[in-house]
Structure 1
Amino acid sequence: MGIVKISDLMHENLRVAGSALSRSINAQAEHWMRVGMLTEMHPELDYRDICQLLIKAELTGGLDITAAATPTAAPTTAPERPRAPATGKH
């Protein structure tokens, strides 16, 4: 464990988001770091896919960057989901 220095504005953002989501400031910061790390490692995944990855990681002992970086840790493409019908409006 260590100390990470962040701006006062980011600390306030963490406080507000953490309070809204019933997380401590540290838990909110860690959540955002995990999501950001996985987003950089797997840009093809959306937020829902990343949350599913985090849940699977938790069930297998927690998120490990070494395991998350391996090709088998996450799908190479986002899972196929039904798409909304086109409305023709732009």
Structure 2
Amino acid sequence: MGIVKISEHMHENLRIASDALSRSINAQAEHWMRIGMLAELHPGLNHNDISRLLIRAELAGGLDLKQLSELADLSQGFKPHAVAGAKS
């Protein structure tokens, strides 16, 4: 665990969102980081897809970057061992 410094403005946004969604400020920040991480890794997924992916990851034992990437690849039909441009 570490300390992450954020702006006062973002902290206020976190406080408002965490109150509205009945989460701690830290839990809200972690939720937004998960969503953002997956959105950057898989820009083709929408928020609904990402939410389902997070639920599947939790059911599979927790949040792990490698596992999330593999689940996202499977949900998009991506073959991790396929080479771009190679014929199947």
The corresponding residue for 1:86 is none
Q: For 1:33 and 1:2, how far apart are their aligned partners in 2? A: 14
Q: CA deviation at 1:76?
A: 1.9
Q: For 2:67 and 2:41, how far apart are their aligned partners in 1? A: 11
Are positions 1:36 and 2:36 aligned together? yes
What TM-score do you get using the length of structure 2 for normalisation?
Answer: 0.80
The corresponding residue for 1:57 is 57
Structure 2 unpaired stretches of 5+: 78-88
Q: CA deviation at 1:33?
A: 0.2
**Aligned-pair identity (%):** 65
The corresponding residue for 1:68 is 68
Number of residues of Structure 1 aligned to a counterpart in Structure 2: 75
Aligned letter for 1:39?
A
Misfit runs of 4+, over 4 Å? none
Deviations 1:42-87 (A, max 9, x none): 11110011000000111111111122223xx12226xxxxxxxxxx
Please provide the CA RMSD for this pair: 1.1
Greater helix content: 2
Aligned letter for 1:57?
A
Q: CA deviation at 1:34?
A: 0.2
What TM-score do you get using the length of structure 1 for normalisation?
Answer: 0.78
Secondary structure, aligned partner of 2:18? helix
Higher relative contact order (CA 8 A, sep 6+): 1
